[in-house]
Structure 1
């Protein structure tokens, strides 16, 4: 959930609700990368692993990603200190961890390394590459770009692209169907049914809950929407759309201090959301005024 249209001030009318409904957008990148398309369509990774006598197992990508980042930092220090024994050990561990990742994940990790250096134009291209790869483990790295004005728009689009993408093509088709039903109040019930179906088919897919939260909001079911937003943030802590959406629900319920806290949480992830900045600024003045009045 995310407010996308400009609102001049806090409004508790349907105008805010309409702005909230704009969260269903999903922008696809126009850049094609043949190597990524090949890797995503290829089943050779599992075939090669099996031919080598390796067991193909599910890998905790986030944990592996964190360990690789830590190893890279330690490796840089070891080389700087000329501790080549430790450097060799770290390289061996790095190789083992890399081999546990899929080709797309290995590609994405390489792109993340490029994201931390280079010109703005090179960084923008890297962000587009990461969006095309669609690997959710890069979300924290993309989130760091939201605080950089030159990169924020591209990073936001890349994050939405990854949020919206499931590994199962059937889920992606259902997501598009559900989003189409969100365009009209007369089909909100159908949208809800589709997103409920997705949560049953793939309970770990956070964006299905986020879209369901949006439908709850559009139907005035604010408590239900908040519960779904909380689920999204448990699964994907960098989901600025769910954080801002929760704030809009709390705002509609006149729970102003909680709404302000939700908006501030969203802005801590994505400082560039202009609408949410305005909502937060107005709420901050409102809450401060109430506190000053209570103290008299």
Structure 2
């Protein structure tokens, strides 16, 4: 038979256990829902900044693009596409040492990204480092056989090598 005098204690226990289950809004990973929302907002903000950097880069407004990419990296030093953007711009400007540093970092952060391998290969090509360039272009094509830029770059480097061999230069 049910004892009504125990009802308040049962309710107190239920509320205590329910409170423990939802304490501070933590999810199974240990982060709070507000932390998750903040991270999502930060990712969105970084992506928005990256798109702005790309716009500047496409318009050859390199100073603004560099500033934008550097701002991204000050927030998230592991944002591979910001490293890629800086590497491409520095290659265009002939600043090969920082270009290599950023492109190598981008590849280290996202080793399966074909376009990053292609961009690193192209910088090696500009530096005359043909074996490294070919290796990166081949890796880019293994990762994405449809990467037309990598295909064109590897063809160009092989044609240049063939022409050099034929002329004896």
Q: If the length of structure 1 is used for normalisation, what is the TM-score?
A: 0.41
Q: Do the aligned residues in 1 keep the contact of 2:46 with 2:72 (CA within 8 Å)?
A: yes
3-state SS in 2 of match to 1:283: helix
- Which residue pairs with 1:112 in the alignment? none
1:270 aligns with 2:144: yes
Comparing both chains, which one has the higher relative contact order based on Cα–Cα distances under 8 Å and sequence gaps of 6 or more? 1
- State TM-score, norm by structure 2: 0.67
CA distance in 1, matches of 2:152, 2:140: 13
- Find out whether 1:180 has 2:55 as its counterpart: yes
Structure 2 stretches of 5 or more lacking a match?
1-20
> Deviation digits for residues 153-205 of structure 1, max 9, x if unmatched?
xxxxxxxxxxxx985222122112212211333x2111101101100111122
| Residue 57 (str. 1) matches residue 27 (str. 2) | no
1:251 Cα deviation after fit: 1.5
SS in 2 for 1:265: helix
Q: 1:57 to 1:290 in 2, by over 3 A?
A: farther
Which has the larger Rg?
2
Task: State the secondary structure of the residue aligned to 1:182.
Answer: helix
Greater helix content: 2
Seen in structure 2, the aligned counterparts of structure 1 residues 263 and 53 have a Cα distance that, compared at 3 Å, is closer
Aligned-residue CA RMSD (Å): 3.2
Alignment of 1:135-146 (within 5 A): none
Alignment of 1:242-253 (within 5 A): 242-253=116-127
Q: Distance in 2 between matches of 1:166 and 1:286?
A: 47
Is the Cα–Cα contact under 8 Å of residues 114 and 147 in structure 2 kept in the other structure?
A: no
Conservation of the 8 A alpha-carbon contact between 1:166 and 1:172 = no
In structure 1, list runs of 5 or more residues that go unmatched: 1-48, 59-101, 103-164
1:171 maps onto 2:46 in alignment: yes
CA distance in 1, matches of 2:102, 2:110: 12
SS at match of 2:58: coil
Matches of residues 1-296 of structure 1 in structure 2 within 5 Å?
50=22, 56-57=29-30, 168-185=43-60, 187-284=61-158, 286-287=160-161
What is the rounded CA distance, in whole Å, between the counterparts of 1:289 and 1:218 in structure 2? 25
Deviation at 1:242, TM superposition (A): 1.1
Partners of 2:26 and 2:73 lie apart in 1 by: 35
